[in-house]
C-alpha cells in the first residue's frame, strides 16, 4: 500500500484520507447526430491540457492519500463537513471519548440529507464517515473515489491558497472539481476558482455532445445561468433519447431527463401540426384553391415517404434516433412547389407551401427551448 501525504495545513487538526483515488468517472459517452442517419459517438477532447493525476507513479488501486487540513476551514466552507465534524464529542479533547453508536447512526442519517442533493445521481458513492480521533492532536475522516489532484485543489481553495490555483485546466478536471464542490456543498467557497477558469476558457460548446453535457453540470453547480441555458438548449435541440447517453458517475440525470421530455414534446408538436395541416388541406380548410391544395398534399405525401419520422405514430411515439433539429431541418428542406396557374392574374410562381405554413409552430418550439432557466432547478 502506497501512502501519499499532503500538508494543506501543516498544523491542521484533521486528516482526510482519500481511498481508491481517481476511480470516479465524469466523462459521459454521448451518441450524436451527423449528416448520416446512423450518427456516431462523440470523441471530442476534454482532457487538454493534461492535468496531474495526484498519484505520481503510484498504482491507483494500491494508493491512499492523506490531506492534513484545518477542520475550522472545512466547517466554514461546507455544510457537509460541518455536520460531519460537529458530533457530540468535544474536539478540544479528541482522545477522551467517542460518540455513542446511536449518536453516530443519527449523525450519518442527518448527513445523508445534505450529501444526497445532486441533480440526478447515477452512482452510489459512500459518504465520508464521521470523524474519529486517531491521535492526540488530530481527527481522521475518509472518502472514496475522488480525483486526487482535483480534491487537493478544492481543499487548497477552501484554505485560501489561491496562489496554487492552476491557471488553465482541462474540462474533465473542471468537472471533477464541480462534482466534489457540489457533493460537499462548498460551491460558494470554490466559486472564485470556477469563475477564473470560466473567464479563461473561451471554448464554450456551440454544438451538442459530451462537452456540452459537462458544461451543463459545471454551470449548474457553480450557478452560471447563461451558460446553463445555452447548454440545456443544445440538449433539447440536438440530443437523442437517454439511451444514447452513458453518464457514468456524472450526476446530471435529472436535467437530462427534463431536456429529453422537452425534446419529445417539441417533436410531437411538430409532427402533430404536420398531420393537422394535411387534414385541413384534405377538407379544404387551407390553401387558396383546389389546385393549390392538391399540390401541397402531394408534396407532403412525398416528404413523409422520404422522412418517416415526420409521420405521427400511434402512442405518440418519438424516434430515439432523431433530434429536434433534424426534424426542423427536414421540414425546412421540403422541396419547393413551383407551378404557375394559367387562370391566375399573377404571372409568378405560386407561393403556397407546407414549409411556410409550419413556420409559426417552428418558431414557437424554438422559443420554448429557451424557457428553462437555471432557477427552475435551483430553488
Q: Assess whether pLDDT exceeds 90 at residue 26.
A: yes
Q: What percent of the chain has pLDDT over 90?
A: 61
Distance CA 55, CA 19 (A): 12
What is the pLDDT averaged over residues 50-57? Answer: 87
Which pLDDT band, with edges at 50, 70 and 90, does 107 fall under? very low
Q: Return the top range by mean pLDDT from 107-116, 136-145, 237-246, 312-321.
A: 237-246
What is the pLDDT averaged over residues 341-350? Answer: 62
Q: Assess whether pLDDT exceeds 70 at residue 51.
A: yes
Which pLDDT band, with edges at 50, 70 and 90, does 36 fall under? low
Q: Assess whether pLDDT exceeds 60 at residue 180.
A: yes
Which residue ranges make up each domain of the chain? Answer: 2-199, 265-368
- Torsion of Cα atoms, 236 then 242 then 248 then 249, to 10°: 60
Q: What is the pTM of this model?
A: 0.84
Please write the tens of the pLDDT for every residue from 2-21: 789 999 999 999 999 999 99
For strands 14-19 and 139-144, give the pairing. Answer: parallel
Which pLDDT band, with edges at 50, 70 and 90, does 343 fall under? low
The answer to whether the CB of 153 falls within 8 A of the CB of 193 is yes
pLDDT (0 to 100) of residue 302: 93
Q: Sign of dihedral through CA atoms 47, 52, 57, 59?
A: negative
pLDDT (0 to 100) of residue 346: 58
Q: Assess whether pLDDT exceeds 70 at residue 298.
A: yes
- Look at 272 and 40; give whichever has higher pLDDT: 272
Which pLDDT band, with edges at 50, 70 and 90, does 93 fall under? very low
What is the pLDDT averaged over residues 287-301? Answer: 88
Please write the tens of the pLDDT for every residue from 300-333: 999 999 998 898 776 555 566 789 999 999 999 9
Mean pLDDT over all residues of the chain? 84
Q: Assess whether pLDDT exceeds 90 at residue 335.
A: no
Cβ burial of 259 (10 Å; 0-12, 13-18, 19+) is buried
Which pLDDT band, with edges at 50, 70 and 90, does 370 fall under? confident
Alpha helices in the chain (DSSP H): 71-77, 79-84, 101-115, 148-158, 171-183, 187-200, 210-221, 225-238, 253-282, 290-306, 324-332, 354-368
Stretch (H or E) spanning 13:
none
Closest CA to 328 of 290, 355, 295: 355
The least confident of 47-51, 73-77, 81-85, 135-139 is 135-139
Q: What is the CA radius of gyration of the chain?
A: 28
Amino acid at each position: 500500500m502506497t501512502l501519499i501525504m499532503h500538508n494543506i495545513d501543516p498544523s491542521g487538526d484533521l486528516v482526510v484520507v482519500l481511498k481508491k483515488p481517481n476511480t470516479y468517472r465524469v466523462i459521459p459517452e454521448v451518441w450524436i447526430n451527423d449528416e448520416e442517419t446512423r450518427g456516431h459517438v462523440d470523441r471530442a477532447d476534454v482532457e487538454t491540457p493534461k492535468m496531474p493525476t495526484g498519484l505520481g507513479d503510484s498504482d491507483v488501486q494500491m494508493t491512499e492519500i492523506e490531506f492534513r487540513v484545518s477542520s475550522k476551514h472545512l466547517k466554514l466552507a461546507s455544510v457537509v463537513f460541518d455536520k460531519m465534524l460537529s458530533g457530540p464529542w468535544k474536539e478540544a479533547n479528541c482522545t477522551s471519548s467517542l460518540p455513542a453508536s446511536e449518536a453516530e447512526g443519527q449523525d450519518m442519517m442527518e448527513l445523508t440529507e445534505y450529501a444526497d442533493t445532486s441533480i440526478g445521481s447515477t452512482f452510489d458513492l459512500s459518504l465520508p464517515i464521521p470523524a474519529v480521533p486517531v491521535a492526540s492532536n488530530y481527527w481522521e475522516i475518509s472518502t472514496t473515489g475522488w480525483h486526487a489532484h482535483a480534491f487537493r485543489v478544492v481543499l487548497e481553495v477552501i484554505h485560501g491558497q489561491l496562489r496554487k490555483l492552476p491557471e488553465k485546466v482541462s474540462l474533465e478536471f473542471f468537472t471533477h472539481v464541480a462534482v466534489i464542490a457540489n457533493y460537499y456543498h462548498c460551491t460558494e467557497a470554490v466559486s472564485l476558482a470556477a469563475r477564473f477558469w470560466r473567464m479563461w476558457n473561451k471554448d464554450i460548446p456551440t454544438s451538442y455532445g459530451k462537452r456540452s453535457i459537462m458544461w451543463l453540470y459545471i454551470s449548474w453547480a457553480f450557478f452560471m445561468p447563461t451558460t446553463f441555458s445555452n447548454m440545456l438548449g443544445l440538449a433539447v435541440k440536438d440530443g437523442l433519447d437517454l439511451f444514447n447517453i452513458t453518464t457514468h458517475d456524472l450526476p446530471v440525470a435529472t436535467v437530462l431527463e427534463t431536456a429529453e421530455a422537452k425534446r419529445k414534446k417539441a417533436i410531437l408538436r411538430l409532427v402533430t401540426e404536420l398531420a393537422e395541416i394535411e387534414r385541413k388541406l384534405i377538407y379544404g380548410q387551407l390553401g387558396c384553391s383546389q389546385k393549390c391544395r392538391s399540390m401541397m398534399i402531394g408534396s407532403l405525401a412525398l416528404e413523409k415517404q422520404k422522412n418517416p419520422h415526420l409521420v405521427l405514430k400511434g402512442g405518440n411515439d418519438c424516434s430515439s434516433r432523431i433530434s429536434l433539429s433534424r426534424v426542423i431541418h427536414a421540414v425546412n428542406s421540403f422541396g419547393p412547389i413551383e407551378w404557375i396557374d394559367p387562370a391566375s392574374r399573377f404571372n409568378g410562381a405560386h407561393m403556397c407551401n407546407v414549409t411556410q405554413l409550419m413556420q409559426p409552430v417552428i418558431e414557437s418550439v424554438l422559443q420554448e427551448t429557451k424557457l428553462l432557466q437555471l432557477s427552475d432547478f435551483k430553488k
